[in-house]
Structure 1
Amino acid sequence: YEKSSTILTSNKSYGEWGEIFKDHVIAAALLDRILHHCTTINIKGESYRLKERKKQGIKTGLIRHNSTEILEN
């Protein structure tokens, strides 16, 4: 505990985790433990995976604004 780094990635916001786990109480407890002494980096922007599709003129249906948030907990 607190001796090494852990990186978690998700395309869902914290508020959506209750729907993922089908239990908002479990999700809240899990997030409480995961987010204790953490740094959260929210990256919003165009997907690198979709860059090639855009070059080819294939519409992705995604509209995003470029920004990055860093939240210290």
Structure 2
Amino acid sequence: MILTSNKSYLEWGKVFGDDVLATAILDRLLHPAITFNIKGDSYRLREKKKAGLYPAQLSN
């Protein structure tokens, strides 16, 4: 199984609304897993920035 996410492990508590639940899910998913952390913009986001359709930096 391949599972992808644009959220870091630390952000999963916010996604599920419960840090304990997120920890339990990650524990079961990651125990036998091999993980790859890919950093940087996605190809779609990079192309949108080149076309001027997406700001280079979002304001908070």
Q: Normalised by the size of structure 1, how large is the TM-score?
A: 0.66
- Greater shift after overlay, 45-54 or 34-43? 45-54
Q: What fraction of aligned residue pairs are identical, expressed as a percent?
A: 59
Give the AA of the match of 2:24: A
- Calculate the aligned-residue CA RMSD, in Å: 1.5
How many residue pairs match? The answer is 56
- Flag the structure with higher helix content: 2
Query: Which of the pair has the greater relative contact order for Cα pairs under 8 Å at 6+ separation?
Result: 1
Q: Normalised by the size of structure 2, how large is the TM-score?
A: 0.78
- The structure with the largest alpha-carbon Rg is 1
Runs of 4+ in 1 over 6 A off after TM superposition: none
Q: Any stretches of 5+ residues in structure 2 without a counterpart?
A: none
Equivalent position to 2:25, from 30, 36, 39 = 30
- Flag the structure with higher strand content: 1
Q: Any stretches of 5+ residues in structure 1 without a counterpart?
A: 1-5, 63-73
